[in-house]
Amino acid sequence: MPLRVKQALVILAGVLAAAVMTGLGLWQLQVFTDQGNASAQARAQQPVAPLLDFVAADGTVGDIYGKPVSVSGHYRPDQQERVLGEDGVVRVLSAFELADGRVLPVVRGTIPSGAEAPPVPSGELDQTGIFLPSEAGADHTLPAGYQLGSVRLPQLAQLWPQPLMPGFITLDAAASGRQGLAPATVKLPEGEGSWRNSGYALQWWVFALFGLGASIKIAQSMGKRRTGVSGMGSASPES
């Protein structure tokens, strides 16, 4: 068999092995992602807990992000914002004042673009929703009449004078419907998968690179050995 064919077969074997190991790494990474998503979903389905049991007066937050919470207070009808997301969805964000004077931003639901939000309910209320951390800042262009592209608490603090809670809640579909709004989609915080699986993914990718490099090295050494043998065979004997 010609040398170049042998070298090509060796490299092909290395490429195939690297492809298999790369696929195994991607599978392990997907397992890591799926475990994180399952963890986030499990948190969102836990029993409702009183929010103030996990958020201290100094703003210290316990293990409560991504979980359903309940809180008592009243809406401030003069403090309401329409949050226009990059996807064009408009969320209605209202200030819900607690007994201690702090304000909890509440995503009451969604409305069509350009529509006016229904007024907030009056009186003392108990509200329940998933407690979420501040969202990342938005960089899409906002048309006139909109000041927020995401529920970013540092930006909201410049619009509302009261001290803000270190997070916000999104009402469920039933509560949104009772207030005359369509439900808002909740983007759950990323859960934590098993870091063992992410480590396995990295291992497979290292093995893939090593195997591919080894096959190329073997093919090169085959050529060097052949060149050396040919050189010795053509040498003239000394006279």
% of the chain beyond a pLDDT of 70: 74
**What single string gives the DSSP state of each residue in 7-63?**
HHHHHHHHHHHHHHHHHHHHHHHHHHHHHHHHHHHHHHTSPPEEGGGTB-TT--B-T
The lowest-confidence range among 23-27, 35-39, 89-93, 218-222 is 35-39
Separation of alpha carbons 196 and 192, rounded Å: 11
Question: What are φ and ψ of residue 217, in 5° steps?
Answer: -65, -40
Q: Which residue has the higher pLDDT, 50 or 235?
A: 50
- What pLDDT is attached to residue 194? 45
Q: Which residue has the higher pLDDT, 44 or 134?
A: 134
- What pLDDT is attached to residue 186? 86
Separation of alpha carbons 114 and 200, rounded Å: 49
Q: Judge whether residue 239 has pLDDT over 70.
A: no
Task: List, for residues 140-175, the tens digit of each pLDDT value.
Answer: 888 888 889 999 999 999 999 999 999 999 999 999
CB 81 within 8 A of CB 147: yes
Task: List, for residues 31-83, the tens digit of each pLDDT value.
Answer: 555 555 555 566 767 888 999 999 988 888 888 888 899 999 999 999 999 99
Confidence label for 188 from pLDDT (cuts 50, 70 and 90): confident
| Neighbour count for residue 228 (Cβ, 10 Å) | 10
- What pLDDT is attached to residue 226? 61
Which CA distances in Å does 175 have to 61, 63, 93, 136, 171?
25, 24, 14, 26, 6
Q: What is the pTM of this model?
A: 0.64
Confidence label for 193 from pLDDT (cuts 50, 70 and 90): very low
- What pLDDT is attached to residue 149? 92
- What pLDDT is attached to residue 91? 95
Region 211-235: mean pLDDT is 66
CB 87 within 8 A of CB 68: no
% of the chain beyond a pLDDT of 90: 40
Task: List, for residues 98-119, the tens digit of each pLDDT value.
Answer: 999 999 999 999 999 888 889 9
CB 68 within 8 A of CB 129: yes
Domain ranges of the chain: 1-44+190-232, 67-178
- What pLDDT is attached to residue 101? 94
- What pLDDT is attached to residue 22? 77
| DSSP structure class, residue 160 | -
Give the chain's mean pLDDT.
Answer: 81
